[in-house]
Amino acid sequence: MPETRSGQRVAIFQQGNSAEAKIAGIRRYGGGRFQLECFAIDQPLPDVLDDTSAILPDVIPADLVLDYLRHPDLSEDLAVLCERQSIPVIAPGRTIRYAVTPPT
């Protein structure tokens, strides 16, 4: 029988270790209430990405997404993907349609 895990499922998207401190903080202070799945996108990317489908997953198994991506095309497409799947996205310090963007 598969292991049963409890807690909110949080997917974290980052480039160049941009979320490592946040991930460490969630693990340290989250009290085991969160299941983290981290997506690291570290390959070199062009300035403009017309199609991000080869980079972003088709389905995101999460209740919440934290966006620490640096490439604006990736962030925009991630937010659209999450909107389609009814997953809230938090993208601190940016303005992205469909995402909660608190100031940093």
One pLDDT digit (tens) per residue for the chain, 104 residues: 344 457 899 999 999 999 999 999 999 999 889 999 999 999 999 999 999 999 999 999 999 999 999 999 999 999 999 999 999 999 998 889 889 988 87
pLDDT at residue 28, rounded to an integer: 96
CATH (one of 3.40.190.10, 3.40.1080.10, 3.40.50.20, 3.40.50.2300) for 8-90? 3.40.50.20
What is the SS3 assignment for the chain? CCCCCCCEEEEEEECCCCCHHHHHHHHHHCCCCEEEEEEECCCCCCCCCCCCCCCCCCCCCCCEEEEECCCHHHHHHHHHHHHHCCCCEECCCCCCCCCECCCC
* Model pTM score: 0.89
pLDDT at residue 24, rounded to an integer: 97
Domain boundaries, the chain: 8-90
Angle in degrees, CA 91, 87, 66, rounded to 5: 30
Decide: 9 and 63 in contact? Cβ < 8 Å: yes
pLDDT at residue 7, rounded to an integer: 85
pLDDT at residue 69, rounded to an integer: 96
